Structures are given as structure tokens and as C-alpha cells.
Chains A and B, each alone.
Chain A
Amino acid sequence: GAVVSQHPSWVICKSGTSVKIECRSLDFQATTMFWYRQFPKQSLMLMATSNEGSKATYEQGVEKDKFLINHASLTLSTLTVTSAHPEDSSFYICSARGRRTGNSPLHFGNGTRLTVT
């Protein structure tokens, strides 16, 4: 089946530094990737949608200058948390959809746990 690899699986960084999270589709071409954020014991909140080769579309309330998303190829999207602060600590999950119709299923990565100290 389709596999989405997310790296790193966990990261600890100091306040004020930037962190990059990678999301790769290993065996299919991902035209669309979605980035979610999940707070402890809460649901997933969609942060942004990225289509290969174009700018990401951010959900209301998500700072695009803080959460930089790049989807430069059909197999890779990155989320960079810039100038991270403790309140950015969370579980970030990406999902990817292949190059077909809207009914092509989403495949989720295993998530990245970010802790900002």
C-alpha cells in the first residue's frame, strides 16, 4: 500500500530556533499534501493544504509566516516552524493524496512530536 514517511518522528529544540519537518510519499506521487496539528488528547486541526508547485493554502488563524510550507516536488513537502516557542509544541501530522481524482485516499504519516524548550 501507499506509504507516507514523516521525519523526524520527534524533535526537541530551543525556543527561537527553527525546525523543519519532512513528509515524503514513498511509492506514489502526491499532488496534494495536508498538514495537521494535534494537541494532546485532542483532534487533528488542519493547518494548510499544499499542492505541488504552488503556494500553500492556510486555514484561518494559522500564521503562514510562522509555519512555512514547501511542496517543491511530487514526493516531498516540508513544514518549517520558524522561531519556535513552547506553545508550538505539538504533534504534527502530514497526509498525502495521489495524482488522481478527489476520491483517491489520504495516506497519513506517523507524525512528528515537536517539543520546544
Chain B
Amino acid sequence: AQSVTQPDIHITVSEGASLELRCNYSYGATPYLFWYVQSPGQGLQLLLKYFSGDTLVQGIKGFEAEFKRSQSSFNLRKPSVHWSDAAEYFCAVGPSGGYNKLIFGAGTRLAVHP
């Protein structure tokens, strides 16, 4: 069955520190992978996506993610976190064909200390 695992429920980092949020997926075919961010009481904003090609993808707000097929992972990274990055982050997987029926991970809540 298709699934997405985000092992870290809650992460706290200091402002300016680097960040890595983990995501592992289980999918039979070549997946489409996404990272979304959700601020409290808000909808979701797409940070970046991987469909094919270069396994290191760049997104908005200085985020990047690397697709590693051998590890079934799609970890999100940012070299220097800003206080405004505090939010909930969701990894999602979708079938080939893009944005149909995305399956979301449980989310990682990021707190940023000044």
C-alpha cells in the first residue's frame, strides 16, 4: 500500500541553524513527491516537487529536497532557518500523472528558537 512516513513529529531548531526534515515513502511505481508547508489555521503551500530528472530539487523560501530512490526518501533541507519558517511541514506522494489523490505524511511541526 502507498504510504508516507515522517518520522519526526516535532523538531526545534535555533534561528540560523540548518534543517533537515525526513520523509520516507512506500510506492510501487515511480512516485511524484511533494513538500507542503502549512501555517496555523491555513491551507497548504507547495514548497517544491519532484517528478523526474535531477534528484536535487530547489523550491521556494530557500528550501531544497533530494530524492533518493535507494532509500525511498525525499528529505527537505534548508541551510539557515528563519523564525518565519516555523510551521507544519507535510511530505506527500502522488501517482504518476501528478497531483491526483495525494497521500500525505503525518507532518512535522517545526519550532524555531531565536
Chain A residues in contact with chain B, CB under 8 A? 4, 6, 9, 32, 34, 41-46, 49, 93, 95, 97, 101-106, 108-111, 113
Contacts and interface: CB of A to CB of B under 8 A. Distances in A.
Given A34-B101, A45-B104, 11 more contacts: A41-B109, A42-B107, A43-B107, A44-B90, A44-B104, A95-B44, A102-B99, A103-B97, A106-B99, A108-B36, A110-B43
Interface of B: 36, 41-46, 49, 51, 90, 97-107, 109
B98 A102 contact: yes
Contacts of B109: 41
Contacts of B107: 41-43
A51 B51 CA distance: 24
Given A93-B44, A109-B43, A111-B42, A104 B104 contact: no
Contacts, number: 58
Contact of A104 (B36, B42, B99): B99
Given A106-B46, A108-B44, A43 B105 contact: yes
A105 B99 contact: yes
